[in-house]
Structure 1
Amino acid sequence: MTAACLMNTYKPLPLSFVRGEGARLWDETGRQYLDAMAGVAVTNVGHSHPQLVTAISEQAGLLLHTSNHYRIDWQQRLAAKLTRLAGLEQVFFNNSGAEANETALKLARLHGWAKGIEQPLILVMENAFHGRTLGTLSASDSGSVRLGFQPFSGEFVKVPFGDIEAVRQASRVYGERIVAVMLEPIQGEGGVMLPPPGYLKALRAHCSNNAWLMILDEIQTGIGRTGHWFAFQHEGIVPDVVTLAKALGNGIPIGACLATTAVARLFTPGSHGSTFGGNPLACRVGCTVLDIVEQQSLLENAAIQGERLLARLRETLAGHPDVMQIRGLGLMIGIELARPIRDLTHIAAHEYGVLLNVTRGQTIRLLPPLIIEESDVEQILAAVAGVLGCVIDRNSARHTTRSSPACRR
């Protein structure tokens, strides 16, 4: 089989998987791998979960599509679950994260229009990533993914992530033209960058005081990834708009834009739409995913195993010359390296049977399923240490790191 008929937009490893179960995948030869990236924060409840298999099979035999010209009961059920968990009131369903963010951007424009602002501005963050449509690329800040697609929309003002004083300064400069701020509570594609404690709370207060919409892109952080349903819940706030995708469908394409009633009513019949958004299959899967997370206490497990993995990485890699910083929250962890390491993901898969991801060129990003156990944490640790040239001393009760020539380079 040849890839010549595919557009040249990816650089996949020479691996192809034929089966998945829980946190593991099997390739064509029958070799097993630990999926420590969960399809880029998608398969939070693991591969081939029996409840999801049943839900998908049953729904496929009943009804896949009717269009939004008719009431969709599963859509209403999923909306009710999501709004209860998030503390918001209404939902629009899409097919992807980029579409959900486009929905949020349209709400921001309507918010400005309702205030009589002819040239509204949206505050966004340096190092952000919100999608690959032209609108979401305009709101993003990655040179490699933006290259060749200029000119971008001029409605965005970028400020440093995590700097509340920069937000206040932009407010003083642009005044009432700013109608919203859009950001990831943790920058995923940007290298798992966390803001300082209290930043989101201060930003929430600033938005409220200036009648801005606070839009949080929780496409990667949402549905339990950080140990709460949503990352914003760590600071006890509620934004005006939240976008979701990825883990909501566990592999079935779905996106969602949640908003307060005051914001959601900016949309009127015909002002926005989606042919496939919120179809019965995707919404039944979404409901089932939320049920599984609750039934299996996966929020708690993400917090426990995330703390364990973060602590073990810091203990094992302390003083490593190639490791600049290890950071994360829940099961969203980044290991920033001093330099790119060639073939890192290939070595991790080939030598250690662990699927890793590298973002921004030199940050190892770990996004394992929320179902992982302590033994999985140790396997991930061994793979990361191995690709960085370290050896885990398994004869030690504390599993300390034994220096190797590669570690000392």
Structure 2
Amino acid sequence: MKVITSGEGYPEKRNILVNADYHYINGKKKNVYFYLNAIRQKILKKNKIFRFQYVPGLLPANVDVIHLFNEVAISQNKWVTTFETEIPRVLPVAGMVKTENPELHMQMKLVAAPACVGLIAISEVTRSIQLRLLSSFPAYQEMIASKIRVLHPPQPLLASQPRIVSAGKLQFTFVGNEFYRKGGAEVVLAFTELYEAGEIDEGSVQVTLVGDLSRQHNIAHGQFQDSEAFCSKIEMSLERLSIFQHVTFMKSGDVIARLQQTDIGLLPTWQDTYGFSVLEMQACGCPVITTNIRALPEINPATAGWLIEHPINEMYEYEIDSLQTKERIRKVLVEQLKVHIMDALQNRQSISQRSEQALERIRIEHDPAIFRQRISEIYAYEPLETSHRIPMAG
């Protein structure tokens, strides 16, 4: 099968480039909008448009399907898109209500057209957000909703046995290149407070943090960013306390090797559309402490890990409207993180039990073979000009 993609980045590798028997063609630089967006963003200072259209006359022969990520195709060939939040994806325009944006209306027509044979939501939350968007477009609602599939990303198992936890030092690992957005500061605060209160020491825990400390901007905080003084405080704790080991960057293989020796993973993230690192941690037999935003409750249920609970908005995210709100949420994240850390220390058998459940859910819910089969079924659908409906998958 010949499949055109709009790139070969991490999202495509995790969700599209999954079948060694297929011939994938990277159409990124054959996409008209690759060039139009460069002009729009760099010269005209306008929003990026998430469209894909092959340069006329350059489409390879005998293409079976186009499979995009977060984009809509302008094509007579059948196409599929995998998406994280909403499809079409349209960036905000100042002074304009999203549902009144002409770009959104134009792309809705493309999604409703017969050439679009599948919309793959990466989580149930993503499907819920999409259905809410469609409720504002009743003319397209039913036909587009019928195309939606929920298909969680595939993840091979990286361990064969659940973690056996001894009475010695517990190993914790945080991985997040965007250190502050992913909750690295909250990890440091929680362990520092427990250390200074005498609840933990060098003999009971070791905390490895992988992430770039220079990535201080946190998109979840909007205009209410952390101060330089706050970031300096976090960095001083990392240097001062021997329970911490910080690494700016680690190769993927080294990360996996580290996780395979980790008792508990950490992702108290402020914003994530999914949480791919959670899958990798679980596949290594490493249960994870996460926040409860977006897809995280789906992939990190209480049986397989620990959830930090805080109210979320209609987009399943934390609502930060002031510095006071941010600090209030941070306090909740740190306090609950401390509770889960101490629970693990005092009830080590629960780590082994969660490790077993984490491996089981990866085996059942993220099986790469089943994922490839379902993708193939979506690709195989032949659209009918007389109907926009396609049968729902089980």
TM, length-normalised to structure 2: 0.31
Structure with larger RCO (C-alpha < 8 A, sep 6+): 1
TM, length-normalised to structure 1: 0.30
